[in-house]
Structure formats: C-alpha cells, structure tokens
Amino acid sequence: MTRNSTSLSFVASQAQEAQEARNELIAIYGNTDPEEADVIVALGGDGFMLQTLHTTMNSGKRVYGMNRGSIGFLMNRYDTQNLPARIETAVENAFRPLEMTTSDTSGQERRALAINEVYLFRQSYQAAKLRVSVDGRVRLEELICDGLLLATPAGSTAYNLSAHGPILPLEAPLLALTPVSAFRPRRWRGALLPNKVTVEIEVLEAEKRPVNAVADNTEVKSVISVRIAESIGLSARILSDPDHSWSDRILAEQFDY
C-alpha cells in the first residue's frame, strides 16, 4: 500500500466497472473514512459525481472524479498511476448551487439544491403555461412551452445545451434561462441573467396543465410556483486535471462540431 500525505476516500457507483476500480485503487492507496479524508475520489459517471457533490456540500471536502461511467464530462480520465500527485496538482473550482423552493397543488412547500439546473416540464399532452418574474418584476406574462430551465455555468453544457441554450464560461457570473420547445412567444429563445437574481415561475392553469419541477435529481410533482436563487451559504468543491480542467472542457464544447 502506497502512503501519501493527502488522505483519500474512494466511493463508487453501483456499476461493476466502478466497483472494480474502487477495489483496485484501495489495494494500491488504502482507504480513509469519508468523514476523515481530505479528498473524496468518486468513480462512476456524471450522475454519480453530482450525487457525490450533493453529499459533500459545505463539508469542505474536495471531490476528484474518475470516469467509470458512460459520459464522464464532469470526470477526469481513469488511471491508477500517481494518483496522489495528480490530485496535488489538480485545479479546484467551487460552485454555489441553485436553491429551488416549490409549492405544489396540495399546498406543500419543498426545497432542493441544483448544481446543474432547475427545470420545469409538462406532465400531460398539453403544453405548460408559465408566468416568469425576475427579481419581482414580470418579464414573461405568459410562456407556453414544453418546459423551462435555469442552468448554472457548470450545467450549461448538459440539458441546457440540448435545449439550444448558451454555453457559459465557468467563471461567468451568469445563469441561462432557456425554454424547451417554446410555442408562445414563438421567437423567445431565452435570456442570460446575473447569478444574483431571483427567478419566480408561476404555473398558470395548473389543474388543466400540470407541471413538474426538478433540481438535479430531485423531482417535485404538480407544482404551482417555483422560486430559484443562487445559494449564499452553500458550496461544493471539485478537482480537475490541469490539462483537462472544467474551464477547458466548457471552452472546447463551443468549438465542437
């Protein structure tokens, strides 16, 4: 077992490839309890990385991911060699999540966090009808669409990009408000917003046109209103190899054709 000054805790998704990688790395480097470790090494895909970042939120733990999943945009390449040295030279980014507060048709209020995005989508065959306000001022009196999402720079290359939203540099103090299949107003393509604003979305005709809301992997059904703002007191810390940093990956996406 190799000793190193940075204590590591290896966590993995349930995928066989990830579990095998975890066993291999523990055999080489040992394993520290997550609460005592300096760095959490996450093995899996992007979904597992998001879960790990949520778990370590505000703990001060740094997360270094290696791809043992299907996509791995958030992950570094998998290699068992010189892991402590790679972690020592890794680039750190800290992210403040979005806080989503919802009210549903039963009057229940729920809160959830999103590192990538908060999005609303229609439940039924009928399009959603939404009213959108920014910092208390109505900006869209009526948006008829399949859905609407608010993405962070970290999440701008995920669902937001698939919905033809803009890619945001990681350092940009911006959020992307992007519609999904907007029917009215037909020409509205979305907006770039300062990351300090509060976005409020009201669901119009909620019984006739039911809408769900999702913050990363937390879904709330039949919402009537959603409030979204960047968290002031919470943050997650992620490490990336200097030759393949998150900033580089997001920049590369803009030239990928």
pLDDT, tens digit, 9 for 90 and up, residues 146-161: 999 999 998 998 899 9
pLDDT at 2: 45
pLDDT at 257: 56
- How many H-runs (helices) and E-runs (strands) does the chain carry? 5, 17
At 97 the three-state DSSP class reads coil
> CB of 136 within 8 A of CB of 113?
no
- CATH fold of 98-230: Tumour Suppressor Smad4 (2.60.200)
- Residue 161 among known ligand-binding residues: yes
* Domain chopping of the chain, boundaries: 8-95+235-253, 98-230
Which regions of the chain are under pLDDT 70?
A: 1-4, 245-246, 256-257
Dist. CA 246–CA 63, nearest whole Å: 13
Dist. CA 77–CA 66, nearest whole Å: 5
- Residue 154 among known ligand-binding residues: yes
- Residue 162 among known ligand-binding residues: yes
Dist. CA 97–CA 75, nearest whole Å: 18
pLDDT at 113: 96
pLDDT at 246: 67
**What's the N-to-C CA distance of the chain in angstroms?**
44
Dist. CA 53–CA 93, nearest whole Å: 12
Catalytic residues, by residue number, are: 46
- CATH fold of 8-95+235-253: Rossmann fold (3.40.50)
pLDDT at 1: 43
Dist. CA 222–CA 146, nearest whole Å: 15
